[in-house]
Structure 1
Amino acid sequence: MSRYTITVTSNDRSDPDAVIGYDPPLRTFFLQAFPDESGDDLALWLGTRDREYETIDALLAAARSRGFDFMPLPEDVAAQLAEDLAKDAARPPHDGPLAAFLRHLQSK
């Protein structure tokens, strides 16, 4: 799993320690931002399901629909995310019992 620090904004606040990345087992990009005081709960956590956001554009659209933004994405981070996705393209799909169980849980 890759993790890169970026800035996520929402109205008049920003989180300069937000995290964006790619999760190969779930085959999705993810975004995490605005932790609460304990650090355990996030105001924004996208990309927790199998193939939920297969492109950065889909992730950005989901973030914006919730009132958050992370553009412009730093060039080095954008390049790394593209590389992370390309590496995953060669991996075989997860078809074992755990993958079946996770798909079952997500369908509910």
Structure 2
Amino acid sequence: MSRYTITVTSEGRSDPDAVIGFDPPLRTFFLQAFPDQAGDDLALWLGTRDREFETLDALHAAARAKGYDFIPLPKDAATQLADDRAKEVDRPPHDGPLAAFLRHLQSE
């Protein structure tokens, strides 16, 4: 799993410690930002389902639709994220009891 620190903004607030990355088992890009005071929950967590965001543009559009934006990624981070995905693009879906359970939860 790749993880890069970026800044995410929303309504005048910013989270300079937000995380963007690619999750190979889920085959999706993800974005996490704005933890609560206890650090146990996030105001923004995108990319938790299989192949939910197969492109950075799709992830960015989803973040913007929820009122969040991220400063343009540095070129090296964007390139590395694309490379991370390219290495895993043909990865087969997870199989087994845990994967079946997660698919069941996502279907509800």
Matched position secondary structure for 1:9 = strand
The runs of 5 or more residues in structure 2 that have no matched partner are: none
Matched position secondary structure for 1:92 = coil
1:94 correspondence with 2:94: yes
Distance in 1, matches of 2:36 and 2:105, equals 27
Distance in 1, matches of 2:6 and 2:53, equals 18
Matched position secondary structure for 2:70 = coil
C-alpha RMSD over aligned residues: 1.3
Which portions of structure 1, spanning 4 or more consecutive aligned residues, are displaced by more than 3 angstroms?
A: none
Number of residue pairs aligned between Structure 1 and Structure 2 = 108
User: TM-score if structure 1 supplies the norm length?
Assistant: 0.92
Identity of aligned residues (%): 81
1:48 correspondence with 2:48: yes
User: TM-score if structure 2 supplies the norm length?
Assistant: 0.92
Distance in 1, matches of 2:95 and 2:40, equals 31
Distance in 2, matches of 1:49 and 1:93, equals 12
CA deviation vs aligned residue, 1:13-59 (integer Å, no higher than 9, x gap)? 11111000011111111000111111111111111111111111111
C-alpha deviation, 1:66, in angstroms: 0.7
